[in-house]
Structure formats: C-alpha cells, structure tokens
Amino acid sequence: MESNILKRLREWFKKNAAMLPWRPTDLDAPRDPYAVWISETMLQQTQVATVRDYYIKWMKRFPDIETLAKANEEEVFRYWQGLGYYSRARNILRTAKTVCEQAVRQAHRPATMPRTRKELEALPGIGAYTAGAILSLAYHQREAILDGNLVRIFARFYALDFLPTDKASAGKNTTGKNEGCAEAYWKYAREVADSPKAYMHNEALMELGRTVCKSKNPECANCPLSGGCRAFAEGRTGEFPPKRKSAQREWRGTALVVESADGKLLAVSAGQPFLAGQATLPHFEHSRNATAGIPAEAEAYFNADNVVHTRECGSFRHNITVHKIECRVLHVKLSTKASKCVASSGKKIDPQFNATWVKKEDAAKAFANSFSLKALKNVF
C-alpha cells in the first residue's frame, strides 16, 4: 500500500479506534506483551464483544504471566469457559509456565514474553499471527500480522482471486508472479508493517476489517483505503475474497450422564472424540438413525445389570472447532456406589478413559466446558 493510503489509514484509526480494555488511550504507547498475547489469543475465532468481559475477569485474576504460570489447568479452564477452543487455554498455561521456567533458569526476572519471532513461535499456541501482534503492538517492531480481517482487506484492495489456504498454483500477486497463496498475502502484510508505525498499521487494519471492510456490505464510502482499492474501483467488492467451501463437519452423538447410587457423576478425560485432557461427560458418535435405549458404546462406562433407570433427556447443539454437534443426552441412574461401579464386562472402567467420579453438587466446577454443562442442563 502506498504511503499516502497508509497515512489516511492512521488518521482514520486515530479518529475511530474503539475503546477496548486491552487498548490504551494513547495509541502510540507500547503495550504490555502479556496483555497483547492474552487479548489476541482470546480474539482468535471470538467476537470482540464477547472477549471484552472475559479479558477483564482474566486480567483481574491473572494480571501477569508469573501469576498465570502458578495456576492450575482446572482454574484456567474456568476462566476460559464459554470462549471455546479450549486448546487455546491449555496452550496459554503451558506457554506461561515455559516462559517463567526459562526466566528462572536465565535469571531474567520478572518473566516476560520473548522479543523475537523465532522464540515466540516456538511456544505452544503462538503462531505467526500472535507472534506478529506481540512484536508489533508491544515491542513496536516492524513485524507483520495476517488474520481474517487483513485477508479480506488485501483480497479486495488488490483484487486477489485466491485465499491464503488455496493451493500454491493459485497464488499470483499483482505483478502476475506466482509466490504461493499464503506467501502472496504475507508479502502484502510485510509491506504494510515495513514502517516505524507498523503497530498502528496492523491494528488499524484489524479494526477496519471489523468495522468497515466487513464480510457483508463493506462501507467503502467511509473507508480510508478506497482511493487505492481495486475491488471498489471496479465495483466488485462482493467477489472478494473468493468463497471457500465450508469446512464444518456435522457430528451426531450421545452424551452420557451416569449417576451412581451415592449421587456422583462419571467424568472422563481421555479416549473421547472431543475435549481431550478435560473432565467431560462420556460421549460417542452414532449414526443419524440411532435407535432409542442404551447404545452398545455406553456399556463401556457402566454395567447394564446395575441400571435402575435410563431417561432420554432431549438433545442440544454445540460447536467445537469445525464440528457442528447435535448431541442427545442420556441419563443413566445406577444401583451401585461410585466406588463399586464397573463396565458391562464386569471389569473396572477402561483406564484409557481416565475415569473419575465427581459429586453432583461440584459438577458445574468439575465439568468446566460448555459441552458438558449443556448436557447436564438437560438432565438436572
């Protein structure tokens, strides 16, 4: 983008930047790298309006990386609950612990986020986008970012008829040179960031994509880039970026709420289709035409001879990563106490499920993921 367009972009941003909890009033002030990391990670796949409250609560409880590194996964998940994509929360905690351990080893206290792309991208959950955001917004380095907002803007501004995820053969830049699709987009992102004001260009483009160059009905009349935008000049804004095939996959299954005679609920944290490593209700996939009653897969978790009653408790919809889930809920009440429960084989519940029992009154805390909480809501 030419310098006069970037100047207009900066002026637009100074007038229009929204007040956000992670954004200081002085837009030229370097940011706290920890705050940038947390806010940008929360903002991946999640709307600003949703993130706002989560961010405030998070920073109150974990104001810096050292406080976070001392927390346990269960608590971190609780503060993440509702944001989805729990692997992000798990990676945040792993990264906090790694950075703090390195700081102790190297006697660099207090611990802080690394200052190079290579070091940042070596940390769990930090990819090219987050690394670029930390380096540019917090450390004011000339580092690029590329997220969905920037992709949409570049696609329209340069009339790119391919996406970064397309096969390399499609990735031609405006000079017709084929560079691979992702690289063609990154090249434009690096151009924008090749400035002492990289931090502002990056953030302004994210904001512009969110508020003006929106997916539907871009407000070109209010856009500081309109003077150089090819899609606008050619009246083709609706054509860019090109549509991609939906990556969503449908998943139908059953979640089991298995309740022992002494009022405990079965939790598993392994061997499940979703939510690995977290306490969740046992769940499994079944076909669209699954019949009512106790499915065979369920008997891995209890002995059918000990069932006092089963109750179909409706179903719920939920999304996890690319999966569009439709899940029925089956409540199974047992005649045996938790300590005596076995699978239908007569043996202990398979250790691969890492099964535990939690008191019913502790369920909301123990099952710190929306999938399980929705299922429980159908029962109790």
**The pair of three-digit structure tokens given for residue 242, joined into one six-digit string:** 């090109």
* Count of chain residues binding ligand SF4 (CB under 6 A): 14
Check binding of 212 to ligand SF4 (CB under 6 A).
yes
Comparing CB distances to ligand SF4, the nearer of 202 and 226 is 226
- Report in angstroms how near the CB of residue 312 gets to ligand SF4 at its nearest: 49
Where would I find the H helices in the chain?
3-16, 33-43, 48-61, 65-69, 73-80, 86-105, 117-121, 128-133, 148-157, 181-193, 198-211, 230-233, 363-366, 370-379
For ligand SF4, the binding residues in 254-273 under the rule CB under 6 A are none
Instruction: Evaluate the CA torsion angle 181, 186, 191, 197 in order and state its sign.
Output: positive
How far apart CA 71 and CA 176 sit, in angstroms, is 51
With contact defined as beta carbons under 8 Å apart, do 152 and 232 qualify? no
Kindly tell me which residue out of 100, 150, 163, 229 binds ligand SF4, with binding defined by CB under 6 A: 229
Check binding of 232 to ligand SF4 (CB under 6 A).
yes
Number of H helices, E strands in the chain: 14, 6
Check binding of 237 to ligand SF4 (CB under 6 A).
yes
Comparing CB distances to ligand SF4, the nearer of 225 and 257 is 225
Count CB-CB contacts under 10 A for residue 300: 19
Cβ-proximal residues to 356 (8 Å cutoff; 6+ apart), any chain: 266, 267, 268, 269, 279
- Report in angstroms how near the CB of residue 230 gets to ligand SF4 at its nearest: 8
Please name which of 252, 241, 245 lies closest in space to residue 213, comparing C-alpha atoms: 241
Comparing CB distances to ligand SF4, the nearer of 237 and 280 is 237
Comparing CB distances to ligand SF4, the nearer of 95 and 237 is 237
Check binding of 99 to ligand SF4 (CB under 6 A).
no
Catalytic residue, chosen from 40, 203, 207, 259, is 40
- Report in angstroms how near the CB of residue 236 gets to ligand SF4 at its nearest: 9
Give phi and psi for 371, each to the nearest 5: -60, -55
Check binding of 149 to ligand SF4 (CB under 6 A).
no
Q: Is 259 helix (H, G, I), strand (E, B) or coil?
A: strand
The piece of 27-35, 45-53, 163-171, 218-226 that touches ligand SF4 (CB under 6 A) is: 218-226
Q: Please give the helix or strand (H or E) that residue 264 lies within, else none.
A: strand 264-267
Cβ-proximal residues to 52 (8 Å cutoff; 6+ apart), any chain: 20, 21
Q: Does residue 40 carry a catalytic annotation?
A: yes
How far apart CA 300 and CA 304 sit, in angstroms, is 10
Check binding of 223 to ligand SF4 (CB under 6 A).
yes
Check binding of 220 to ligand SF4 (CB under 6 A).
yes
- Report in angstroms how near the CB of residue 233 gets to ligand SF4 at its nearest: 9
- Report in angstroms how near the CB of residue 214 gets to ligand SF4 at its nearest: 8
Comparing CB distances to ligand SF4, the nearer of 146 and 343 is 146
The piece of 33-41, 74-82, 217-225, 262-270 that touches ligand SF4 (CB under 6 A) is: 217-225
Cβ-proximal residues to 243 (8 Å cutoff; 6+ apart), any chain: none
Comparing CB distances to ligand SF4, the nearer of 218 and 282 is 218
Binding site for ligand SF4 (CB under 6 A): 153, 156-157, 212-213, 218, 220, 223, 225-226, 229, 231-232, 237
Which residues carry out catalysis? 40
